[in-house]
Chain A
Amino acid sequence: MAAFIARRLIQAFIALFGVITLVFFLQRLTGDPVLLLVPQGATQADIDVMRTALGFDKPLYIQYFHFLFSLAQFDLGRSYVQNLPVVEIIASRIPYTLELAAGALLVAIGFGVPIGVVLAVRRKRWEARWLIGLVLIGQSMPTFWTSVLLIMFFGVFLRWLPPSGASGLQSLLMPSFALGLLSMATFARVTRTSVLDELSKDYVRTAHAKGLSTSRLVFHHLLRNAAVPIVTISALEIANLLTGAIIIETVFAWPGLGQLTMQAISARDFAVVQGIVLIGAAAAILLNLVADLLYSLIDPRIRLGGRPA
């Protein structure tokens, strides 16, 4: 177990290191990285002062080590557009994105798991056929289209919900639903597969033979055992939801990291974009690590070499 954890930790570290290096060299590919950081309309003299101040006149390897060193101290640099430390700008937006991701996860699990159970238990009946269709539709709806349709119907036509902005729980409803729909399909599929696995086991037959009702069997026995893959997939889905939030937040004017990304890109605030990408990648790598560790804790076959078939 310890060896497995160590191996996975090293892997996560390499992944993070790779992303950081990629970001660093992409910046240099543009020719002059100072031009990415200075606000638009800066004079040549300003640019030269900045170049020296930021150390961009030094050799590449020294710049690289400097970059790594400041990242190790959680210093993501300074936004010269907003004149604030990047860490501060990003930190103020994180709670909103987490709120949205939590709402979406609730929608995804709340709909996805029951659908998955029905798909497995009522396999080959009409209910399952309709629900499979629903899952496929959820998987194929572009999230931004779902969002626009929701806004059109509930925001503009019925006027039940605020079409955009962040004013309390009401305005969280539509974005959570739009974002959660895509993950719902994943949860439904995973639940279906794992309940089907359980259904083929001996204890289910015994329970049935003893006269246990299907609903009792599902709620008291099946779901508990089938929950394992559902919990592990959650870690991966949170990573997907966080990146999916970029589009959803732009549509609903939700003031989280996604909206910040788009604002930073259009304001050419490169330091902020870079900070978000680094933090986002770190979060995704961490969640992947968590999913793998959870999985190996539950299924020892994984840390003993192979992967699940």
Chain B
Amino acid sequence: MIAALAKASRFAGRPPLSVVMSVVILIVIVLAAILAPLIAPYDPNAQNLLGRLKPPGTLARATHFLLGSDELGRDTLSRLIYGARVSLLVAFTSVLLSGIAGCIFGMLAAFYRGWVETVIMRLVDIVLSVPAILLAIITVATLGPGLQNVVLVLALTRWPRYARVAYAQTLIITNMSYLRLSRAMGAGWLRVLRYHILPNIAGALVVVATLEFGLMVLFEAGLSFLGLGVQPPTASWGAMLSVGRNYVANAWWLSVMPGLALFLLVLSVNVLGDFLRDRLDPRSA
């Protein structure tokens, strides 16, 4: 990721301001998630029933609600900071799992051709035609809600996105002469895939992974919003919004704040993804 960014900026000087700002926002959110116990002003689950639904900036019972409090008197800012952990964790693990699986399948399909190619690429078409949210719903309805199930569903349904890109990119490269030369000199397939193909297709895969990351954040938030993802009292931006919508008339901060956090995270990821696509993978732009 960082290597790709460095490579991208080396090509054409300084990145635009929007990209710089996006990276700053991302760093802030990631740091907040990692350092949550250190920087959160209060315990995210500590209830304060006398300080319920207080607007931002209220001082109530020795607690300073910088971004207001929710229906149980919990500090919104602290919950936002802890909620970042859930969003990032789910998005990161599902992108990692589906990315690795998709990359391996795509490379194998393009490398071996023949029936391996047929089976894998048909499977890609098939899985792509089934909406992930429906699979998530049936999984949750049968196996119960929870983070592991959400990640599992995402990993199982999103790998074809990477497989398609890895496949197309590998096909282009396998026809290049340096690769045939390397094969002729006796390089095994594992060596060829690892040292010659993977570095060349990494750029395109990073672009897909970045854009997918934003989608996965939205997906987790959507499931938690519906009550199918993270379970209370764990703080998650989607779940916070779902509570907040019951108080739109008298506590706007409860729906505005977590939504804003989600929006900023996803927007930053998308801006970065667009930028990387323009720089690393101009063909698909």
Chain A residues close to B by CB (< 8 Å)? 11-12, 14-15, 18-19, 22-23, 26-27, 29-30, 36, 133, 136-137, 139-145, 148-149, 151-152, 155-156, 163, 239-240, 243, 246-247, 250-251, 261-262, 265-266, 270, 273-274, 276-277, 280-281, 284-285, 288-289, 309
A30 touches B129 (CB 8 A): no
B126 touches A14 (CB 8 A): yes
Residues on B with C-beta less than 8 A from A137 are: 267
The smallest C-beta distance from B122 to any residue of chain A, in angstroms, reads: 6
How far apart sit A27 and B142, CA to CA, in the bound complex (Å)?
6
Residues on B with C-beta less than 8 A from A22 are: 135, 138
Name the residue on A nearest B132 (C-beta).
A243
The smallest C-beta distance from B139 to any residue of chain A, in angstroms, reads: 7
How far apart sit A270 and B274, CA to CA, in the bound complex (Å)?
41
B39-47, B58-66, B258-266 - interface stretch:
B258-266
Query: With A142-B263, A145-B262 as given contacts, are A281 and B134 in contact (CB-CB < 8 Å)?
Result: yes
Question: Does B29 touch A at the CB level, under 8 Å?
Answer: no
The smallest C-beta distance from A31 to any residue of chain B, in angstroms, reads: 10
How far apart sit A284 and B133, CA to CA, in the bound complex (Å)?
12
B225 touches A144 (CB 8 A): yes
Residues on B with C-beta less than 8 A from A277 are: 134-135, 137-138
Residues on B with C-beta less than 8 A from A274 are: 138, 141
Main secondary structure of the interface of A (DSSP, over half): helix
Residues on A with C-beta less than 8 A from B230 are: none
Residues on B with C-beta less than 8 A from A140 are: 214, 263, 266-267, 269-270
Residues on A with C-beta less than 8 A from B259 are: 142, 144-145, 148-149
A142 touches B142 (CB 8 A): no
Chain B residues close to A by CB (< 8 Å)? 18, 122, 125-131, 133-135, 137-143, 168, 214, 218, 221-222, 225-228, 238, 241-242, 244-245, 248-249, 252, 255-256, 259, 262-263, 266-267, 269-271, 274, 283
Residues on B with C-beta less than 8 A from A280 are: 131, 134
Name the residue on A nearest B131 (C-beta).
A243
B255 touches A152 (CB 8 A): yes
How far apart sit A284 and B283, CA to CA, in the bound complex (Å)?
29
Query: With A247-B226, A280-B134 as given contacts, are A285 and B129 in contact (CB-CB < 8 Å)?
Result: yes
Residues on B with C-beta less than 8 A from A273 are: 137-138, 141
How far apart sit A215 and B221, CA to CA, in the bound complex (Å)?
42
Main secondary structure of the interface of B (DSSP, over half): helix
Residue from the list B133, B140, B227, B270 in contact with A136, Cβ < 8 A: B270
Residue from the list A14, A144, A309 in contact with B283, Cβ < 8 A: A309
B245 touches A151 (CB 8 A): yes
Q: List 19 A-B contacts (CB under 8 A).
A: A15-B127, A18-B130, A22-B138, A133-B18, A137-B267, A142-B221, A142-B266, A148-B241, A149-B255, A152-B252, A156-B248, A247-B226, A250-B226, A262-B226, A265-B227, A273-B137, A281-B134, A285-B129, A285-B130
A288 touches B128 (CB 8 A): yes
How far apart sit A293 and B194, CA to CA, in the bound complex (Å)?
37
A156 touches B218 (CB 8 A): no
Name the residue on A nearest B228 (C-beta).
A265
Residues on B with C-beta less than 8 A from A14 are: 122, 126
Residues on A with C-beta less than 8 A from B143 are: 26, 29-30
Query: With A15-B126, A15-B130, A148-B244 as given contacts, are A142 and B222 in contact (CB-CB < 8 Å)?
Result: yes
Query: With A142-B262, A280-B131, A284-B130 as given contacts, are A26 and B248 in contact (CB-CB < 8 Å)?
Result: no
Residues on A with C-beta less than 8 A from B221 are: 142, 144
Residue from the list A136, A265, A284 in contact with B137, Cβ < 8 A: A265
How far apart sit A156 and B133, CA to CA, in the bound complex (Å)?
30
Q: Kindly list 15 other residue pairs between chains A and B, CB separation below 8 angstroms, not including A15-B126, A273-B138.
A: A11-B126, A14-B122, A18-B126, A22-B135, A26-B143, A29-B142, A136-B270, A136-B274, A142-B238, A145-B259, A149-B259, A284-B129, A284-B130, A289-B129, A309-B283
The smallest C-beta distance from A289 to any residue of chain B, in angstroms, reads: 8
The smallest C-beta distance from B101 to any residue of chain A, in angstroms, reads: 17
Residues on B with C-beta less than 8 A from A143 are: 222
How far apart sit A284 and B269, CA to CA, in the bound complex (Å)?
28
Residue from the list A29, A144, A281 in contact with B131, Cβ < 8 A: A281
The smallest C-beta distance from B212 to any residue of chain A, in angstroms, reads: 13
A284 touches B131 (CB 8 A): yes
How far apart sit A143 and B225, CA to CA, in the bound complex (Å)?
11
